[in-house]
Amino acid sequence: MKKTMFKIEEVAKLIEKDKVLLLAGDENLLKKLPKGNWIGGTIPYFMSEKGGMVTKDMILVNEMPDFIKSIKCQAYDATNVHAIYNDGFENGFTVIIVPGMSDLHLSFANNATDFDGFATKPLVGWISGGLLADLNQRAPGTAFGPEATFSNDRAVAMHIELPKGKYAQTSIINIFSQGNGDQIEFPKSGFTATEVLINGQKRNFADYIAEKKLDIRLPLVADYSGSMINISFQHVDQAKKVVSFYAPVFEGVVYKQAGKIENYIHKFSKQVPSNGKQNLTFSCNCILNFLYSELEGKKTGSITGPFTFGEIAYQLLNQTMVNLEIADLS
Amino acid sequence: MEQSDFNHPVWNDLINGTLQVKLNYLAANILLSRLRIRHKLNPSDDEIEASKKEIFSLYLKSKDLPDAKADIQLLLNK
C-alpha cells in the first residue's frame, strides 16, 4: 500500500522536486517547509496506511498525479472566498482547507451554498484542527506553500486542471442514515438552535433532547434526494437551553436523528466502493468518526487522509468521509 | 441531453418537490436541496425559473459524467 506518512525532511525533498502536494500535519512542521507547489492544514489525526494514527511528528502527504495539466494555488479570506467556485478550472477540481474555529470557518459554513456557481465545479476539502487537548492553547491553521506562510484565519486552496478525457468526481461515504424518530425542523439557519419544530410542534430543542435521552453522538441527518447529509451535535447547554452544532442546520430542511451504529468498521467497509474506485485522489474523514468509533489502529480499507474538524464536499459536512476520484471519460 | 430539454416539465417538478427521486450525482443532490429550500422560502415564478436554469445547466455541462448520465436517463428517459 502507498506510503502516506512522511518525515519533514522527506516532505521537503518532494517539494524541492516540484511535486504538487496536499499536506496535513502539525503547525511546527508545516512552518518549516520550503516554498513550493503545496497547501497544508493542521491536524494530528490520520487515516494512515497503517490505520488510524495520532502523531505530531509526521506529515500526511497526498501527491497529485503527474498527468494533471496545471494548478493554481490561492489564499482566501472573507473578501474573496465567495469566488471559490468560479475560480476553479472548467475541467478539474478544487481542494480547500479552512482554519478551524476561525471566522472564515463560520462564514464558509453558513454561506457557501449561496456562493456564485455553488456546486457547479467539484470542491472538496476540510477544516483544520489540532490535538483536542491543545485546542485552548493553539488555534488550528493553514499553510500556503507558494509563499511558505502560515495563518490562523485564512483558507488555502489548490485549483487543479485536468487534461481532456479525464474528469473529477466527488463522493461521500456516510454510514449514518435517518432513524425512525421524529421529524425535526429549524425556524432559523445557524450553528445553534433553541426553538425547533418536532413533527410540526414548537419545542425547546434542549428540553426535547433531555426528555428523549437522545445520544448526541448520533448526528441529525437530512435526505438530499438520496444523499444523506449529517449535522453533528457539539454541545447541549441545559442551563441556557441552547443546542450547538459542528455545522449549520438550515431552515427549510427536514432532519431526523441517525439510527444507532453497532460497528463502524463493518458498516464502513460495506460502503467502500469495491469496483476499482479505491484509487482515490483525495479523502478525508471526520474526527468524530475517529473518536466515537475508536478508529486508532484500525484500517479504513485502503483509504488514507486526515481526520478533520469538518469535511467539505461542495459545502461543510459532518461525520462523513469525502472522496474525490479522477477517472477517464469513456 | 440538449438545450431544448430545458422545456421538459421534469425540472419544474424537481424544484417544487412534486418529483421525489433518488439522484446519483452528488453535486445535483446538494444543489437541488439548496434550490428546494429557496423555492420553499420564495415560490415566485422568477425564483423557480432561476432555479430550473441552475439545475439544468449543471446537468447539461456534466452530461458525459457517469453519475450525471444515469440521472439524465432517469429524469428525461434519454
- Summarize the confidence of residues B58-75 as an average pLDDT: 95
Q: Please name the member of B22, B26, B31 whose beta carbon is closest to the beta carbon of A171.
A: B26
pLDDT of res. A276: 47
Question: Which residues in chain B are closer than 8 Å to A222, comparing Cβ atoms?
Answer: 33
Neighbours of A246 (CB within 10 A): 24
pLDDT of res. A155: 98
Interchain contact, A313 vs B30, CB within 8 Å: yes
Question: Which residues in chain A are closer than 8 Å to B40, comparing Cβ atoms?
Answer: 252
- Distances in Å between the Cα of A89 and the Cα atoms of A36, A45, A94, A162 are 20, 31, 8, 8
Q: DSSP for A58-109?
A: -EEEEEPPTT--EEEEEEE-TTTGGGHHHHS-SSEEEEEEE-TTSHHHHHHH
Is any Cβ of chain A less than 8 angstroms from the Cβ of B4? no
pLDDT of res. A273: 62
Interchain contact, A224 vs B24, CB within 8 Å: no
- Summarize the confidence of residues A133-145 as an average pLDDT: 92
- Summarize the confidence of residues A123-140 as an average pLDDT: 92
- Residue B77: Cβ-neighbour burial (10 angstroms; 0-12, 13-18, 19+): exposed
pLDDT of res. A274: 54
CA atoms of A50 and A189, how far apart (whole Å): 40
Interchain contact, B26 vs A222, CB within 8 Å: no
Interchain contact, A120 vs B22, CB within 8 Å: no
ipTM (interface pTM): 0.93
Residue A38 near residue A150 (C-beta atoms within 8 A):
no
Interchain contact, B33 vs A222, CB within 8 Å: yes
Is any Cβ of chain B less than 8 angstroms from the Cβ of A120? yes
Question: Which of A90, A223, A225, A255 to mutate: most B Cβ within 10 Å?
Answer: A225
Is any Cβ of chain A less than 8 angstroms from the Cβ of B18? no
pLDDT at A300 over 80: no
Q: Please name the member of A122, A172, A226 whose beta carbon is closest to the beta carbon of B23.
A: A226
Interface of B with A in 47-76 (CB under 8 A): 57-58, 61, 64-67
Q: How far is A133 from chain B (nearest CA, A)?
A: 34
Percent of chain A with pLDDT over 90: 83
- Summarize the confidence of residues B50-63 as an average pLDDT: 96
pLDDT at A277 over 70: no
| Highest mean pLDDT pick, A31-35, A232-236, B17-21 | A31-35
Is any Cβ of chain B less than 8 angstroms from the Cβ of A224? yes
Interchain contact, B37 vs A252, CB within 8 Å: yes
Q: How far is A78 from chain B (nearest CA, A)?
A: 22
- Summarize the confidence of residues A281-289 as an average pLDDT: 93
Question: Which residues in chain A are closer than 8 Å to B30, comparing Cβ atoms?
Answer: 119, 224, 227, 229, 313-315
- Model pLDDT for residues A197-250, shown as the tens digit of each residue: 999 999 999 999 999 999 999 999 999 988 999 999 999 999 999 999 999 999
Q: Please name the member of A172, A253, A313 whose beta carbon is closest to the beta carbon of B37.
A: A253
Is any Cβ of chain B less than 8 angstroms from the Cβ of A118? yes
pLDDT of res. A275: 46
CA atoms of A300 and B67, how far apart (whole Å): 24
Interchain contact, B64 vs A315, CB within 8 Å: no
List the one residue out of A228, A252, A120, A315 whose CA is nearest residue B56: A120
Interchain contact, A314 vs B37, CB within 8 Å: no
Residue A33 is given by DSSP the state S
CA atoms of A296 and A287, how far apart (whole Å): 11
Q: How far is A253 from chain B (nearest CA, A)?
A: 7
